Copies of this chain bind each other. A is one copy, B any other.
Amino acid sequence: MDQENSSTFKHQISARIRLVTDPNNDIPHLHKLITQMANYHNLTEYLTVTETSLSNTLFKSPPFHSFTALILEVSPNPFPITPHKDLSFNPIIKNNFNLKAPVLDPQSNTFRSENDVYVAGHVLVFPSYNGFFEKPGLNMDQIFVRKCYRGLGFGKMLFSAVASVAASMGMGMVDWLVADWNEESIKFYEKMGAHCVSDYRLYKLYGEKLQQCANISG
């Protein structure tokens, strides 16, 4: 539908990972990315997140001390290397890298964040704890790159950004769940040095059952 506004990256592309901070500009993009990810996982029927719920959940504490989002942006032009401003997360920039083949983004209009800058992916994290370990961890809840930007190293860039946050905060690990049919992701994570701890089952208590169980405590 945005075909007439599509952008083509022919020779070079620049990328930036930065903190989601702007409820008015970033949140609608993030919501669309999450919806695309749910669609990819065939989970749209379970999707209850809204732009409002994202705004209400994301900015409640300093970044990475609670639910936090990073977005990946791409541009045909290099991103300005801004000096370190003692931010919680200094943007990660990779300027002017060469493309093997042109990239056509049919949704560039939908995902435009500023002039000639387009949102291409995201990652959601929050602190996790395991009582057996000395140090907390960083849970990676979602990692996603839009279809037309896959295979260019952006997943690795997002994943290593998460590892870098965890390491710089003195955390002991990054942990996450992978759908067991998602072979491509599993291959990627194992290449990145991740260990599978397979002998666990994920349980959830929700809805009426949660309320019933809560009522036992009176």
Contacts and interface: CB of A to CB of B under 8 A. Distances in A.
Given A134-B49, A214-B167, A180 B200 contact: yes
A214 to B, nearest CB: 4
Nearest to A17: B217
B203 A175 contact: yes
A189 B215 CA distance: 16
A194 B205 contact: yes
A161 B216 CA distance: 8
Nearest to A126: B129
B217 A203 contact: no
B166 A210 contact: yes
Contacts of A202: 175-177, 196-198, 200
Nearest to A122: B131
A38 B132 CA distance: 7
A212 B193 contact: yes
Given A200-B202, A204-B197, A67 B129 contact: yes
A48 B85 CA distance: 35
A119 to B, nearest CB: 15
Contacts of A206: 137, 172-174, 195
A99 B142 CA distance: 48
Interface string A158-179: 0111011011100011111111
A130 interface: yes
A32 interface: no
A27 B215 CA distance: 29
A34 interface: yes
Closest 5 CB pairs of A and B: A193-B209, A160-B216, A167-B214, A173-B206, A163-B213
Interface of A: 34, 37-38, 43, 46-50, 53, 57, 61, 65-67, 92, 124, 126-137, 139, 141-142, 156-157, 159-161, 163-164, 166-168, 172-181, 186, 189, 192-206, 209-218
